[in-house]
Structure 1
């Protein structure tokens, strides 16, 4: 059961929120002005993956089919940042991300640089409390953050997530247990849940 795994524990929810590093709000609003982001693109079992990091941690994990599309997505998100193709040292980071994608149960031993509105960050913190192999409905997440009527807003925050898998929006499902939209495709969502031991 989801609640038995600790998802309902407000103490754990807030105690772990400080682990989510974030960009200075004014920099976020300015599209990464005066920032440097290192990025790399690689292939994995889910297709193409782009990983981008700031000095604080991983700022984006994007999934898709075409490298150029993912790079454009990164450019659109950080239009004023300096984007630098990563060197050999950065390969260790992307290797960790790919290993995490292939086996989400192993966890991701990298800091995150989480960027979003205050509401989005509350939702994303709640998502990180859903254990691998478990799921939650949008209504349960809304209840978790103390805004039970904000179900559509929760869905919007899931759709705005740019750190795939590390912020596991793929673990959020409809009230009837069916899979709903996923930024990177329903097939990828189904595959991730399957490899985590949750069949849908």
Structure 2
């Protein structure tokens, strides 16, 4: 039995994909897999193994298709896993960060562990779009944010976040969130909450009735988005949680655990009527499937508005729940994603796991 990949475009030619395989071109990583007939193994196009002959290769869009065709997952590139999980340097440093989230990491600390600094820097930039030191600093900011959410003083939050001075804490906080910590009130009509996820921390902002924003904290546009919300909110932006945020947290937990791809949190969309139509169309894409910008333009009845659809996609400020990551290039390549292409790839992989889980009873009975 063959399962629909959910892609509404043709894969690039096998010759183009074979060239990408030889070059370890990351543009199609996680989007297309090579099935090697001489070994009956399937791999990512970025697999470090010796390259097979062209005549031994066929290319398929999904893990499901590879497995259904009788191929086994490669033990070198692990196509069923996120690429970062295969790097022992990343695995070790992330575990250390989880053990001591308040520790002020430095380059000498990394060197004392026996790691080459440039290797660590490249690995984290490649997989997460940021260095390990920036990630560690971000984690300390989370500690301070959560302390503030409990009603503690800015000074207590600074100490919990292990910043060297109140001014350094305020500056880092304002740079990341677009507002000083003292400007966040506990009784705001809209409140910001920090949400940890397996793909990095997110900030959510909700009112008592709707979720207004959900973004990864390292998105460059986040401070600007928060400033706009603060400017249009009577009494300013607060810190804490409302019902929609708690609902979003629970749904995100289920999503990342591959238990459910459904999101029912009530949303407040801030944009033009056209943008809202695009965002509503994005919400109709099932988890585990993808569309192109042209597909969305045709769906909303404006087939020539492909660029406008792309702008609306990039302006989405409720990540994951409005799934702009499910829009990819018409040729199957990953396209721009404000949260980082590494996240886009992993989100698509998570959703393929969700789809495979839904199909598994069918497979067992086939």
TM-score, structure 1 normalization: 0.73
3-state DSSP class of the match of 1:76? helix
Moved more, 109-118 or 165-174: 109-118
- Provide the secondary structure at the position in 2 that maps to 1:39: strand
Moved over 2 A (4+): 1-4, 69-77, 87-95, 103-106
Q: 1:128 — aligned with what?
A: 283
Ranges in structure 2 where 5+ consecutive residues have no aligned partner: 9-187, 354-366
1:117 has 2:272 as partner:
yes
Instruction: Give the C-alpha shift of residue 96 in structure 1.
Output: 1.7
User: Which of 1 and 2 has higher RCO (CA within 8 Å, sep 6+)?
Assistant: 1
Q: Which has the higher strand share?
A: 1
Q: Match for 2:240 among 81, 86, 89?
A: 86
C-alpha contact (below 8 Å) 1:62/1:70 kept by paired residues: no
Task: Look up the match of 2:190.
Answer: 37
Partner of 2:228: 77
* d(CA) in 1 for partners of 2:280, 2:255: 19
Correspondence for 1:25? none
Query: Would the alpha carbon gap of residues 45 and 142 (structure 1) be closer, same or farther in structure 2, given more than 3 Å must change?
Result: same
Aligned pairs, number: 166
1:1-200 matches, within 5 Å, as 1=4, 2=6, 36-65=189-218, 72-80=223-231, 81=233, 82-87=236-241, 92-93=246-247, 95-103=249-257, 105-197=260-352
1:163 Cα shift? Answer: 0.3
Consecutive unaligned residues in structure 1, runs of 5 or more: 5-34
CA RMSD of aligned residues (A): 2.7
Partner SS for 1:139 = helix
Displacement, 1:110? 1.6
CA-CA distance at 1:94 after TM superposition? 5.2
Higher-helix-fraction structure: 2
- Listed one character per residue, the Cα deviations across residues 74-117 of structure 1 (whole Å, up to 9, x for unaligned) are 42231422211115977734532531551463422321111210
Q: Which has the larger radius of gyration?
A: 2
Are the equivalent residues in 2 in contact too, given 1:53–1:59 (CA < 8 A)? yes
Structure 2-normalised TM-score? 0.41
Gap change, CA 1:71 and 1:141, over 3 Å in 2: closer
